[in-house]
A = this chain, B = another copy of it.
Amino acid sequence: MTPAARAGDSVAAIDTPALVIDLDAMERNIARMAAFAAAQRLRLRPHAKTHKCAAIAALQLAAGAVGVCVQKLGEAEALAERGVNDIYLTNEIVDRAKLSRLAALASRITLSVAVDSALGIDRLAQALKGSRASVTVFVEIDVGHGRCGVAPAASGALAHQVVSHGMRFGGLQAYQGRAQHLRGDAERSAAIAHAVALVRAAQASITSAGIACPLVTGAGTGSFVHEAASGIYGELQAGSYIFMDRDYADNQPSAGAPLFEQALFVKTQVMSWGTSHVVLDAGHKAHAIDSGLPVVWGRDHAVANGGDEHTVLRRGPSGAELPALGETVWLVPGHCDPTVNLHDHFIGVRGGLDDGRVESVWAIDARGALR
């Protein structure tokens, strides 16, 4: 698809709907997270599933990130092709064809991967056999998310299996996804305290197997302050902090957390107008609603789901006038990651959404990289 704007265009000239980054805000977010990790003497490996874009990964790496995370092998391939050369796949692969692709990729870049089954480890070792590629392997434990990962007590046996195959054991993958969206900071703190207890149990299991555990990696934008304070996590994987979204903005802030600004927007315009509601030219084919509806940036209009290609606005508590036919409305998506996956390009604006200019048009390199 053709980008919605070209470098040098005014903000007014950006076609709608378009996925727009406030570059000034995003760069401040990148710098603040980098400064936080540096001050805490922690490695920062931002999750690139959020942006799927090599140009943005390059900005994070330039600010001190040790590499990036991805969730899909196809994401790793797309980013590697555009120059990202240290990638951790924080997810399991058991499919043989995919493991062959992984081995091929590992011969070109520094690659890590998570495992949570004996079958997965055996197949990974088979795929790497005969190739001169090596990968670093993290054992994932379930620290309360209830999705992937083994119980802490099972981690020693898996780590042992990894090293028995001659593969490098990297440590523990310990991501508590559910903690990210608990609204109260005390709730998030408690969830991460529980995760930390499970990590300690897993470390004990690994030590009992006679294996050193070099690193514990995890954390997201909602909880990283607590993982950082644990003294046990050595690497932070937060991703959404670069953009933020309505869902993260609904969280009560954590003490000591950097201020992250809203940097990702969907530019829309009013395409139908009634006396009691107006309709925007973007629906949930343009912004993901898995974490709830978007909000209007800077206005309190009430937002209703208008379906695949529309969003309906009504007057909000302030009673402010609804925008006119053809007028621009900026939406803050409910959830940044899957919203990005709906678009082919980021339109990067310098100088603010009101008077700025388009500076960057970046392909979302790994959009649709599901496999």
Using CB atoms and an 8 Å cutoff, list the residues of chain A in contact with chain B: 1, 4, 15-18, 49, 71-72, 74, 91-95, 97-98, 116-117, 119-120, 142, 146-149, 177, 269-274, 277, 279, 281-282, 284-286, 288-290, 305-310, 312, 325-326, 337-338, 341-344, 367-371
Contact = CB atoms under 8 A, between A and B. Distances in A.
Among A1, A91, A142, A282, find the residue whose CB has the most chain B CB atoms closer than 10 A.
A1
A26 B49 CA distance: 34
B148 A272 contact: yes
B282 A370 contact: yes
24 contacts: A1-B369, A1-B370, A1-B371, A15-B95, A16-B95, A49-B308, A71-B308, A92-B271, A92-B272, A93-B271, A95-B271, A117-B272, A117-B325, A120-B325, A142-B274, A146-B277, A147-B307, A147-B312, A148-B271, A282-B370, A308-B337, A342-B342, A342-B368, A344-B368
B308 A15 contact: no
The copy count of this chain in the complex is 2
Contact of A370 (B17, B149, B273): B17
Nearest to A341: B285
Contacts of A142: 274
A97 B269 CA distance: 13
A279 B147 contact: yes
A284 B338 contact: yes
A144 B286 CA distance: 24
B148 A310 contact: yes
A175 to B, nearest CB: 11
Contacts of A337: 285, 308
Contact of A15 (B98, B274, B307): B98
Nearest to A288: B284
A148 B271 CA distance: 9
Instruction: Identify the 7 closest CB pairs spanning chains A and B, nearest first.
Output: A148-B272, A1-B368, A71-B309, A94-B326, A17-B370, A92-B271, A284-B290
A48 B284 CA distance: 17
A149 B337 CA distance: 33
Nearest to A310: B147
A307 B177 contact: yes
A282 B285 CA distance: 18
Contacts of A326: 94-95, 119
Contacts of A343: 368, 370
B147 A306 contact: yes
A274 B151 CA distance: 9
Given A74-B1, A94-B271, A116-B272, A312 B146 contact: yes
A104 to B, nearest CB: 14
A80 to B, nearest CB: 15
A298 B283 CA distance: 32
Contacts of A93: 271
B325 A119 contact: yes
A97 B12 CA distance: 12
Given A92-B271, A147-B312, A16 B290 contact: no
Contacts of A177: 307
Nearest to A71: B309
A312 to B, nearest CB: 6
Nearest to A366: B1
Contacts of A149: 272
A341 to B, nearest CB: 5
A289 B288 CA distance: 9
Contacts of A92: 271-272
A306 to B, nearest CB: 6
